[in-house]
Chain A
Amino acid sequence: MNFLNTILLGGASAALIPLVIHLLSRARPKTVQWGAMHLLALQPALSSRRVQWDSWLLLLLRILIPIVFAIALARPVLTRFRVPGYSGQDSIQFVIDNSLSMLCTNDSDTTVLEQAKKTASNIVTAQPSATLALHTTQTADNASSVANQQSFAESLNGIQAFGSQRSVLAAVESAIRTQDPSEAGMRQVVVISDFQAADWSPLAAAYDSLRSLLQERSSSLQLLLLRADPQDNTVNTRRNVSIHMPPRPQSAVFIHDIYHAQPIVRNHSTSATTVYVTFSVDGDAVESRTVDLAAGSAQQLDFACTFADPAWHHIVCSLMHNDALSADNQASEIVQVFEPLRVLISSAGTITQTNPAQNPEAQSLAEAQYLQLALAPYVGRDAFRNHFRVNAIVAKHLDIRSLQQQDALVLVAAPALSSAAASAIEAFVTDGGGLVVFSGPDLDATWYNDNWVNNNNLLPLRFGNVRRQDIDTSQLSESNRDLATAAAPTILMPSVSELRSPFQQEIASLERDLGAVHLKRWTDLVSSLASESSTGSPVRELLRLSSGETLAAMHRAGKGNVVQCGLGLSEEWSDWPLTPVFLPLVQSIVLSAVRWHSDAYNVICGETIRISRPVSVDQSLPLNLVFNQIGAGDKAHTLLLDSGQSSSIVPLTLPGGVYKVTQLDSSHASIPPLLAVSNDPAESELSRLNDSQVESVAEQLNATFVRSVDELLTWQLLQREGKEIWPACVVALLGLLFAEMLLAGRIDRGDSG
């Protein structure tokens, strides 16, 4: 047993006072001249002895009282509760939960995050000699080890909240892993959180993993869970209204298209409320609405708008509502608007009219004409609604000049091309042009395989044999489900969804129609190992038969995309040009070939984004990106990557909002100029775990739940020094005082006789 205030043990000498008083009072009897001697009587010997015992017992109590009091003041500790082998310096890894919910405010407009920072600061102040490190739940594994309190305070102040989906447990795991097991002393990971259910979802596997990790590291490594605002009941976590944009496939938007932004407004509180929603496009308020929301309800709004110029636009939906969490009162979305794409169709035969819309009666049923109709269905005054401006050319006339100013070239069952045409097309694709090659009766597969597969890998796959009626209608019907299944994932695959086809939803609804296509012939597309190994660009399957054979595929060649399709457009090969699925499917396939920004620009905070650079750029140059938040003044976030690779996948942890991306030092990164970062909607739920639930979590993690800094410091003291037993001393002291009072009263009353 040790004493924390040993000097106060000297107070035990006060025990001499009652002893001296007792002895002095016993030594000198007081003399009283007394008259009523006949009323005095000597007591029986037994009673006198009993009184003597009582007196001695009283004296003993009075001696013990100052001794026990002095011991209690000296703060005795039982050292057998101390962490075994404890010596050296303490090491504390702080994990500050900086999820969005930590921005909840109390009545005095203090956020929970600020309280968490203050809590951490108090802990550090109480332990000036500890080695410190700081982790946050929303940043990656880059713990900031800090040498002293000042740098710790600076790091602490720099923490801001994000609405990402990163789990607190991941941050805790990161903190545990950064602990050096060889360190002597007490090592702790202190997690300060508001314990939102969304962040501490009870995933047993995750808990087990973390617990086993804790046990692996060392027995002296302690995990502590601490509430950020233990005594603050004024945080009204149930009073919140949020708005967010539901994720959806990025689709192509053309000028004059009607675009529908569909944010979801959700009332998380237990009472009905009315909110004021403002929609703004490119910073200009366009429309405002009042929305009534029942308790716990959600409502999807529909905001329609059109864009007149082809550019990057941002739509921001803002809520005007005084709630506990204001950070989720805004949702934004980036829209890339295109002008109609220029497409050149090249086929073996001659097309009578370069623009069939001018003479519809003269249209032949040639394959190219089907394609023209599908790509530019509107005529007359509605022609402006077409997404494509189509020109046609005979294959043998193809040259560099004809490909200028074109976005894509479609080869329909083209025969062997001249070397000049082939070179022109290769250059066109390498510079970013799109190429679509449809199979057909006139296709010279041997030429294509020799020149564009074996030679330069322009095509993703080899053209195989022409299959004839091996799959009839009935077979397609039987495989309708499989085909639909094949088509659905194909269309929805990233390579297709990146295209932002305006027909995403229509294609999904017409998948069953695709299964009804009467397929008579097609060309096999055969994988070429040589091409894959040489280009390194993955081949993405767009269409597939139920038998598993690839029907359409694409890959990237140079800057451009190449789509290879085993389907023919001739009536002899199938009837799909006459089916409803033809138009959206053809448009989507052609869109697939056009060079897009394949990188995501509507991301959730914490989501990883791919930042790629062309091979031609010096990869050793650092990638320096600046994200300026639009509408937040000059607030800028810099992302500096020592790349060395042609593409980097980085988690983008930015506060929710719209960002203008600027590349410094000629980074040449392929990244959209605008970026919309949205918060994880789960953060808006504001459903906190109560103390018993947190205790349950702590039990599963083999951790300790402490409710306040004082409790934490007491716990640390216990670990460092042992168990304090002054409360027991105080109880003993009270017991002694009570016994002394009883005994003295008894003796005063003369009950002893």
Chain B
Amino acid sequence: MSSLPLLSPADRESLLRLQILARKVVESVHTGMHRSPHKGTSAEFREHRPYVRGDEIRSLDWNLYGKTDRLYVRQYEDETNLRAIILVDQSGSMKYSGTRSQITKHQYAVRLAACLATLLISQQDSVGLALYDAQLREFMAARSHPSHLSTLCAALVKSQPAGNSQLHNVVHQLTPRMPKRGLVFLVSDLFEDSPQLLSSLQHLRRRQCEVVVFQVWDPDELDFPFRRLTQFQSLESANEAHVLDPIAVRRAYLERLAEFRSRLAETFAAEGIDCLECISDQPQAEILANYLVRRGNPGKRRMRGTAR
């Protein structure tokens, strides 16, 4: 809460609205579907397993040894919360807002991140936040205290999209600060160089992080509804602009879009990354519910390497 005074009145109002929204969204979805897959020391017994060399002596169950004359190790449920990092893309391309959506893609990403944070903290998981464009602009370590949620939301509200995004740089900067075997939520439009993006994600996977991507789209980006002669001014580079006949380029655009989406889908499938496409006029509750359903149904999960 220490950062709250830094907020402008407008940002404070935005923050409150964001928190209310996030709470409503989280309440509306089914809670309890998320259960920590991590196991460790705790008072709650889980199971016995045969002793192997290297196991701590203190974990042996001597009573069972007395009864069976064999060595077993006791295992307990790990009640330590999940450590998750939410990466929110605040590149210039996230500023786009089409005619049919009420908010920009960045605003949508902020709301979605707030909802995720609220959901996780409500389950006493630890949540961190990373805002990035070409560089890591802000990082907040994962914590589970409820007051941390306000700090996260304030940071989200204050964020302003600009520049281009380079996730691989960010990942390298984050690596020392990120927990191993954590959960990484990436909220972005993924409008960057595909090989570098792929290498970034692979890097995270090598750290045994579970990666969930929320790819944010504006409806205009999906069907390219323009008709008149149009000058397309880049949101990430002021020098880049093209005057085009939308009717002439529409077909090629849609073909490239399809190719882009299919390439990402193949990449995510290959890396076991779960990807949810979000359209900026789509309710966040629907996205979260969809996500939780997919997590709760192992048959549909694409994640691998769940830690014990």
Instruction: Report which A residues bind B (CB closer than 8 A).
Output: 25-26, 28-43, 47-48, 51, 55, 747-753
Contact: B228 with A750, CB < 8 Å? no
B51 at interface, CB cutoff 8 A: no
Interface residues of B (CB under 8 A from A): 92-96, 105, 189, 191, 218, 221, 226-237, 240, 242-245, 247-254, 256-257, 260
Set of chain A residues within 8 Å of B94, measured between Cβ atoms? 35
Are A29's CB and B96's CB within 8 A? no
Q: Chain B residues near A29: list those with CB within 8 A.
A: 228-231, 243
A35-B95 contact given A30-B229, A748-B247, A753-B248, CB 8 Å threshold: yes
Closest A residue by C-beta to B245: A51
Asked if A25 meets B228 with Cβ closer than 8 Å, knowing A35-B96, A750-B254, the reply is yes
Closest to B248 in A: A51
Instruction: Specify which of B235, B245, B252 is in contact with A33 (CB 8 Å cutoff).
Output: B235
Contact A750 B250 (CB under 8 A): yes
CA distance A750 to B253 in the complex (A): 10
Chain B residues with CB under 8 Å of A34's CB are 96, 232-235
9 A-B pairs in the complex with CB atoms less than 8 angstroms apart? A29-B231, A33-B233, A34-B232, A34-B234, A35-B105, A35-B189, A35-B234, A753-B248, A753-B249
Which A residues lie within 8 Å of B105 (CB)? 35
Give every chain A residue within 8 A of B248 (Cβ-Cβ): 43, 47-48, 51, 750, 752-753
A26 neighbours in B (Cβ, 8 Å): 229
Distance between B196 CB and nearest chain A CB, rounded to angstroms? 13
**Contacting pair B95 A40 (CB below 8 A):** no
Q: In the assembled complex, which residues on chain A have CB atoms less than 8 Å from the CB atom of B189?
A: 35-36
Kindly list chain B residues whose C-beta atoms are within 8 Å of the C-beta of A35.
92-96, 105, 189, 191, 218, 221, 234-236
Which residues of chain A have C-beta atoms less than 8 A from B218's C-beta? 35
| A32 surroundings in chain B (CB, below 8 A) | 226, 230-233
With a cutoff of 8 Å between Cβ atoms, the chain B residues found around residue A37 in the complex are 232, 234, 236-237, 240, 242
* CA distance in complex: A647, B228 (Å): 98
How would you classify the secondary structure of chain B's contact residues: helix, strand, loop or mixed?
Answer: mixed
Q: Chain B residues near A38 (CB, 8 Å)?
A: 191, 260
Inside 8 A of B253's CB, which chain A residues have their CB? Answer: 39-41
- Within the complex, the shortest CB–CB distance from A608 to chain B, in Å, comes to 87
Question: In the assembled complex, which residues on chain A have CB atoms less than 8 Å from the CB atom of B235?
Answer: 33-35
- Closest residue of B by beta carbon distance from A29: B229
**B236: which A residues are within 8 A, CB to CB?**
35, 37
Which B residues touch A753, using CB under 8 A? 248-252
A43 to B245: give the CA distance in the assembly, Å. 10
Closest CB-CB distance, B107 to chain A, in whole Å?
14
Q: How many Å from the CB of A18 to the closest CB on chain B?
A: 15
The reply to whether B244 and A42 contact each other, CB–CB distance below 8 Å, is yes
Contacting residues, chain A, for B92 (C-beta < 8 A): 35
The smallest C-beta distance from A683 to any residue of chain B, in angstroms, reads 74
Minimal Cβ-Cβ distance residue in A for B237: A37
**Cβ contact of B260, chosen from A39, A43, A749, A751, cutoff 8 A:** A39
11 other A-B residue contacts (CB within 8 Å) besides A36-B191, A43-B248, A750-B249: A25-B228, A30-B231, A32-B230, A34-B235, A35-B92, A37-B236, A37-B242, A39-B221, A41-B256, A43-B252, A750-B251
Q: How far is the CA of A47 from the CA of B231 in the complex (A)?
A: 19
The answer for the CA separation of A752 and B250 in the assembled complex, in Å, is: 10
Cβ of A752 and Cβ of B247 under 8 Å apart? Answer: yes
Using CB atoms, name the residue of chain A closest to B192: A38
| C-alpha spacing A376/B230, complex, angstroms | 127
Tell me how far the C-beta of B305 lies from the nearest C-beta in chain A, rounded to whole angstroms: 31
For B244, the chain A residues whose CB sits under 8 A away are 40, 42
Shortest CB-to-CB span from A630 to chain B, Å, is 89
Distance between A622 CB and nearest chain B CB, rounded to angstroms = 92
A316–B251 Cα distance when bound, in Å, is 93
Nearest residue in A to B105 (C-beta to C-beta)?
A35
Specify which chain A residues have a CB less than 8 angstroms from the CB of B228 in the assembled complex: 25, 29-30
Cα of A55 to Cα of B92 in the assembled complex, Å:
34
Q: Is the CB of B251 within 8 A of A751?
A: yes
Min CB distance B92 to A, Å, is 7
- B247's partner among A33, A36, A51 (CB-CB below 8 A) is A51
Cα–Cα, bound, A650→B136 (Å): 125
**Chain A residues, CB < 8 A from B245:** 48, 51, 55
- Per the bound structure, the CA–CA distance linking A36 and B105 in Å amounts to 12
Q: Looking across the interface, which residue of chain A has its beta carbon closest to that of B92?
A: A35
CB distance from B167 to the nearest CB of A (A): 15
A558 CB to closest chain B CB, in angstroms?
112
A749 contacts which chain B residues (CB < 8 A)? Answer: 251
Docked pose: A55 CA to B189 CA in angstroms: 34
Min Cβ gap B162→A in Å is 12
Please name all residues of chain A whose beta carbon is closer than 8 Å to the beta carbon of B250 when the two chains form the complex. 750, 753
Residue numbers in B under 8 Å from A48 (CB-CB): 245, 248
